[in-house]
Structure 1
Amino acid sequence: MTDAELCRRVQLMLGKPHAEIPCWKIVDALYGVPLIGAREVDPKYMQAGDVVVFGEREQAPDYGIGVYLGNGKVVTSFKETGVVMIPWRFVKASFVGGLRVG
């Protein structure tokens, strides 16, 4: 899967009004650039709508792209399992990048 395909997948998953996030921001998050400012981000510093990327990109499809819901849960999409909702504690251990939207 190319960066452009991944970017489009994230945009589609987010839907409106966040579907127009610039691709370079999504790709930066995928490569683990700490856009929120830390390798691991405590959920108390996050807001609903934050995009999180977890797992190692090189191990695809064993990484996820998700949207933090603001209630300790992340809605995410895995290539093989579709869209799932997972507790934050499973995300935090392998958090590699973040992107604030909205």
Structure 2
Amino acid sequence: MQANNKSSLKQRVITALILAPLVIAGVLFLPTVLFALMLAIVVGLGAWEWSRLAGLTSLQAQRAYAGLVVLSLGLVWFLLKQQQVLLVLLLLALAWWLVAATWV
């Protein structure tokens, strides 16, 4: 078990050493829209993986979940350009975190 943990840690460190410069370069050099698109792809892949971890077994359900997450990102991107909506979104996020904190 101990050797497996070292191997897992080594893999994570190598991954971080590869991805960190790419993310930093993206933040510094990519236009905002392109960086947001790249980030949406990464979040979509993460949502796909999370759907499997959450127990969604059908491919259709996994696709629907990942698609809904990416669609939500696009909606938030659009809504953040409107100041009144930004305040509402922030208040909804605050309310969600307060409710979530009561479940812990």
| Alignment TM-score > 0.5, same fold | no
Structure in which a larger fraction of residues adopt helix: 2
What TM-score results when the alignment is normalised by the length of structure 2?
A: 0.26
- The higher-RCO structure (CA 8 Å, 6+ apart) is 1
Bigger Rg, which one: 2
